[in-house]
Amino acid sequence: MTIALLAGAAAGLGVLLLVLVLAPPRTQPGSALVRLDVRRAELRSRVQAVEANPDRATESVLARRVGRSTADVLTNIGVDLGGLRSNLAVLGRTLEQHLATSVVAGVVGFLVPVVLSAVAAVAGVSVSLGAPLLVSVFAALIGAALPTVVVRSQAADRRRDFRHVVGSFLDLVAMSLSGGRGVPEALQSASELSDGWGMVRIRNALGSARLHGRTPWSALGQLGEELRIDELRDLAAALALVAEDGAKVRDSLAARAGSLRRRELAESEGKAGEGSQTMLVAQLVLCVGFLVFLLYPAVVNVMGSL
């Protein structure tokens, strides 16, 4: 029965692929423009990733092709990749390479139970067909999702570091404004006074804005949208208000920097509290294990005497 179902599924998939090849769906102009914008954004992200790590320029062509095809399939079925693109942009990685890694991990997860079942069958162990197939599908899903979970965790830590950079950047901009400089000059000088990957991204955004004739705050806002960092978007909105209405923003920037530092302090205290609770649970587990070790012989003797 299982073999018949698998054969029917394979035949149906073949018919579907044949129909798609002979009569491809009509391309809508709106969706084509959206895909063009997405491709342009991905190309910009790839250029930034290569600038951050030149070794990524030598990535495998096959890996990029597999990742590109996977991204097209996910986009066509309605999967939103915006959050994943933002996380990869924060880490300086490309979408194609990540999706190719996910595909390889999923294939490996699918094949491992199958190979183990084949080895067991060769060794003479009776193994049913349904159980290894179910385990293979489950392992493939876990393998394909694991790289995304790891990227999400790493991106959260990198965003936390970026918020610290933004706080320092706000202090530097406020000091430059207090010295009588204009907003563009204050932003440029503040970005050149410190280093780090976050400040490099801000400096590159400001340099790109200068080359393309855009305002620095619009570049910071676009960077905040790309990386999904609210503090950069708020900074861009405040600087745009200064440029349009002539509002005084120095005190506001200093207050924002102080608010960011207080938030980081609260998060650090919360993490320290979580670590203390984890240590307390570990100590309780050790105590319970020690009590079981002490009481087990006495309990065995009592039960044996009964």
Tens-place pLDDT, residues 172-205: 887 877 777 777 787 888 777 767 777 888 888 8
- Alpha carbon 236 to its chain's center: 23
Closest alpha carbon to 48 in 212, 169, 207: 207
Q: Both tokens of residue 190?
A: 């503040």
How far is it, in rounded angstroms, from Cα 243 to Cα 256? Answer: 18
Q: Is residue 196 part of a domain?
A: yes
- Alpha carbon 199 to its chain's center: 20
Angle, helices 216-227/230-245, rounded to nearest 10 degrees: 160
Contacts of 270 (CB under 8 A, 6+ apart): none
Quickly count: other Cβ atoms within 10 Å of residue 143's Cβ. Answer: 21
> Does the predicted model carry a pTM greater than 0.75?
no
What is the average per-residue pLDDT within 20-27?
A: 59
φ, ψ of residue 64 in degrees (nearest 5): -65, -35
Residue 140: per-residue pLDDT: 86
Closest alpha carbon to 67 in 36, 42, 95: 95
Query: By the 8 A CB rule, do 66 and 204 touch?
Result: no
Band of residue 248 on the pLDDT scale cut at 50, 70, 90 = low
Q: Is residue 39 part of a domain?
A: no
53: left (phi over 0), alpha (psi -120 to 50) or beta: beta
With tokens 């990957």, the residue in question is: 197
Q: Is residue 233 part of a domain?
A: yes
Q: Is residue 290 part of a domain?
A: no
Greater confidence (268 vs 247) lies with 268
Residue 59: per-residue pLDDT: 62
Q: Is residue 78 part of a domain?
A: no
Q: Both tokens of residue 270?
A: 């919360």
φ, ψ of residue 228 in degrees (nearest 5): 60, 55
Query: By the 8 A CB rule, do 175 and 193 touch?
Result: no
* Whole-number average pLDDT of the chain: 76
Q: Is residue 195 part of a domain?
A: yes
Highest mean pLDDT among 8-22, 44-58, 85-99, 268-282: 85-99
Q: Is the pLDDT of residue 99 over 60?
A: yes
DSSP letter assigned to residue 57 = G
Contacts of 146 (CB under 8 A, 6+ apart): 105
Q: Both tokens of residue 285?
A: 């587990």
Strand, helix or coil for residue 208? helix
Domain range for 202 = 159-261
How far is it, in rounded angstroms, from Cα 259 to Cα 244? Answer: 25
Q: Is the pLDDT of residue 49 over 60?
A: no
Q: Is residue 272 part of a domain?
A: no
Band of residue 3 on the pLDDT scale cut at 50, 70, 90 = low
Q: Is residue 175 part of a domain?
A: yes
Give the CA distances from residue 194 to residues 52, 103, 169, 178, 190, in Å, rounded to whole numbers and listed in that order.
17, 39, 8, 18, 7
What is the average per-residue pLDDT within 65-82?
A: 78
Query: By the 8 A CB rule, do 240 and 232 touch?
Result: no
Q: Both tokens of residue 234?
A: 């708020």
When divided into structural domains, the chain yields a total of: 1
What is the average per-residue pLDDT within 150-168?
A: 85
